[in-house]
Copies of this chain bind each other. A is one copy, B any other.
Amino acid sequence: MSERIHASYFIETPYPVEQAIDVMAGEQSSGTFTRLASETDDLRANHGAVVEHIERLDSVDVPSLPIRPPKARDGTPLYQRAKVTLSWPMANFGPSLPNLLSTVAGNLFELKEFSALKLLDLTLPTDFARRYPSPQFGIAGTRQLSGVPDRPLIGTIIKPSVGLSPQATAETVRQLVEGGIDFIKDDELQSNGPHNPLKSRVDAVMPIIREHAERTGRQVMYAFNITGDIDEMIENHDYVAAAGGTCVMVAIQSVGLSGVAHLRRHCRLALHGHRAGWGLFSRSPYIGMSYIAYQKLWRLAGVDHLHVNGLRNKFTEDDASVIASARSCLTPMFDPPTPGCEVMPVFSSGQTADQAVDTYQAIGSTDLIFCAGGGIMAHPGGIGAGVRSLRQAWDAAVAGITLDDHAIDHPELAQALEAFR
């Protein structure tokens, strides 16, 4: 078992690569701008970050991010790109998620040596899995709570995002549960605002969910968005639990790593992680963090579900990135693997029956939540037909049948393909 933390980065620098990376390793461990007498060889050996690997890539004439130009050595500088891996001893900060973040994604982003610096991946010792409880329910637990043993959970998001009263929300929920939905979530904009307070929403929604569960033996999972201050989240979690709910949701970046890990330690329900604000990390190729690294932090903090967009989504993210993200959620993150550390990827944004086969072929798993908005609500046959069209599409995907072939004797699927393709 490795006792060091490894992090890999994409970098671009107008300085000699080894020199720039030494600055980066120094800044994030025992070094500073000037070598101090107290930074002894022993101290460096025990606490300095180690440059494990450098892979030189291409170079460019123009810096990718604004940078103070270095003093010209031989005319115009070239900006050399590279992939580098650094490692740190566990002794520096122990298995602490917030302090891991300060180290691998802290001051280094501001270093004058770099015109690009993006965190690509993290490899962590299993000490982290011992300190942090990781997902409580994960894939198996989510399936058990929602009574869906194998296929994807078919889900939706209450829309309009904000503005509905608790009663109007409950009326939408009634239609959805009668239509056969597995999973419903609040929008990330709908938390505990004065026009639709969380407790009033729970009071309005849960009787419908419970009554349906008593009648059918299967409880629809509703992810109540409890994003808020710490005490407020704990109180609202308890309220959802007392009302018989099975899931709460948080906007993970809005709450922060310490807050999500704290909520998880208290949590008795599935914890649905929304990544609102993710574009800050992902939009520029030259600054930020890959989802591969990002999702490890939040899995350790203890979410059970994590958003990944969806194929042919309405945002800027391309399909290859969506698939890599979803696979990362389903991949063990320690060596040896710790059981149950995988989380359910949540597909959403412009999803309809049309994406089911391609999604299944790309990730080879049904361990996911497949959220459709218009793909359900705007189905020509109504909400129930919308839900059935998605189940039919996933049946086809798993059976290896094309959507068009399956649509021949599945009219709801046929209608969905007609309407949404």
Residues of chain A at the chain B interface (Cβ within 8 Å): 28-34, 36, 38-39, 43-44, 46-48, 65-68, 90-94, 96-99, 101-103, 105-112, 117, 159-164, 168, 172, 188-189, 191-195, 227-231, 233, 251, 253-262, 274, 276-289, 309, 314-318, 350, 373-374, 377-378
Asked whether, in the complex, the Cβ of B259 is within 8 Å of the Cβ of A230, the reply is yes
Asked whether, in the complex, the Cβ of B65 is within 8 Å of the Cβ of A283, the reply is yes
Asked whether, in the complex, the Cβ of B282 is within 8 Å of the Cβ of A258, the reply is no
Across-interface contacts of A99 in B (CB, < 8 A): 189, 191-193, 227-228, 251, 254
Contact residues of A: prevailing secondary structure: loop
The CA-CA distance from A281 to B107 in the complex, in Å, is 12
* Nearest-neighbor residue (CB-CB) of A32 within chain B: B159
Number of copies: 2
11 A-B pairs with C-beta separation under 8 A? A28-B189, A30-B160, A34-B378, A36-B159, A43-B163, A47-B162, A48-B163, A93-B191, A99-B193, A102-B189, A102-B191
Asked whether, in the complex, the Cβ of A159 is within 8 Å of the Cβ of B38, the reply is yes
Residue from the list B90, B227, B281 in contact with A98, Cβ < 8 A: B227
* Nearest-neighbor residue (CB-CB) of A91 within chain B: B195
Across-interface contacts of A229 in B (CB, < 8 A): 96-98, 258, 261-262
Asked whether, in the complex, the Cβ of A350 is within 8 Å of the Cβ of B33, the reply is yes
Across-interface contacts of A193 in B (CB, < 8 A): 91-94, 96, 99
Asked whether, in the complex, the Cβ of A32 is within 8 Å of the Cβ of B254, the reply is no
Asked whether, in the complex, the Cβ of B315 is within 8 Å of the Cβ of A112, the reply is yes
Across-interface contacts of A195 in B (CB, < 8 A): 46-47, 91-92
Across-interface contacts of A254 in B (CB, < 8 A): 98-99, 101-102, 106, 257-258
